[in-house]
Amino acid sequence: MTKSLAIVVPVFNEGSAIVDNVRAIMAAARRIPDSTVSMLLVDDGSTDGSTETLRRLCGAGEGFHLLRLTRNFGKEAAITAGLRAAGGFDAAIVMDADLQHPPELLAEMVRRWREGYDVVEACKASRGPESRLRGRLVRAYVAAFRVLTGMDIRNQSDFKLLDRRVVAAYGRLPERERFFRGLVNWMDFSTARLTFDVPATGKRGSSWSSLRLLRYAVTSMVAFTSFPLHLITVLGVVTLAVSVVFGGIALMDKICGRAIDGFTTVILLLLFIGSTLMISLGFIGIYISRIYNEVKRRPAYIIDGERSIMPETARE
């Protein structure tokens, strides 16, 4: 039976290569048997003229559709906007615009989905070009994420096929700040995994600055674990135990008239406790800001001009 597929591609300042890239994706997608394919390009507030290029492409009626966000809301928001717009399709596939997610995999992903899996994930067999430091940090983060949240996001990417049930469930999740990989994992629909090598097409490497990546890392971690908050309590208990011991000793010394000249100890303790308190407050602050952001209930993105897209089969 013919199935309708939506390919959701977030686009942010991809330059002139974007047209060739999405055409290459589309060409591969059209070779998938028994399916009609539409591509939804979510322009995440590009400022480099990509918007005009995309508008021209989408006007040509080759199955490309444009969803433009009013400004740069970030990849996560773009993915959410795209998936919410693609609810009418039998399945949606999320992939990058820079061909780092190989289009040749599409047919296999769809085949696995047709076997009955709700989610088909493409995992990275290798990570492509990136600095050694960044690679190390990412690995350390993934390991910490696994220990703290019990979720294994090793080698995961945002290249995923989602059945319409999953797309609907994802759209219904109320939270504003999202971590696509983690949430798909958390929803725990039946999942098939494929692997791919990240090709070295990266025209300019990643568009994520280190600071942005760090913020993303913190948001994702905070979204899935409140361990840092509990850690503060544990730290408090440990500090209390230590203070009881030292307090006892100090008191004994005082009583026996042996009170020593402990200036250095006092300074060290002060510094230690002071910095522990500051860090603890910082942890609490991160969670409070997160709560504040969610409580504001501001949408995660604003669409520039409302539009919905439907599978071609549904329109006929």
CB distance 276 to 235 below 8 Å: yes
Residue among 23, 85, 18 at smallest CA distance from 46: 18
Please give the residues from 275 up to 304 whose contact with Mg ion meets the rule CB under 5 A. none
Nearer to Mg ion, 81 or 99 (CB): 99
Among 28, 63, 72, 313, binds ligand UDP (CB under 6 A): 72
Per-residue binding string, ligand UDP, 199-218, x by CB under 6 A, is -------xxx----------
Nearer to ligand UDP, 184 or 232 (CB): 184
* Smallest separation (angstroms) from ligand UDP to the CB of 28: 16
Structure tokens that stand for 313 in this block: 């089969």
98 near Mg ion, judged by CB under 5 A: yes
Of 95-103, 127-135, 155-163, 173-181: span binding Mg ion (CB under 5 A): 95-103
The interface partner of residue 222, options being ligand UDP, Mg ion, none and the CB cut-off 5 to 8 Å by kind, is: none
Q: Estimate the crossing angle of helix 17-30 against helix 50-59, to 10 degrees.
A: 40
100 vs 149, which CB is nearer to Mg ion? 100
Find, among 305, 304, 255, the residue nearest to 45 by Cα. Answer: 304
3, 5, 8, 14: which one binds ligand UDP (CB under 6 A): 14
Please list, residue by residue across 132-169, b when 16 or more beta carbons sit within 10 angstroms of its beta carbon and e when fewer do: eeeeeeeeebbeebeeebebebeebbbbbbbbbebbeb
Closest CA to 113 of 77, 97, 89, 82: 89
Query: Are 109 and 123 a contacting pair, CB within 8 Å?
Result: no
Interacting residues toward ligand UDP by CB under 6 A: 10-12, 14, 44, 72, 74-75, 78, 96-98, 100, 206-208
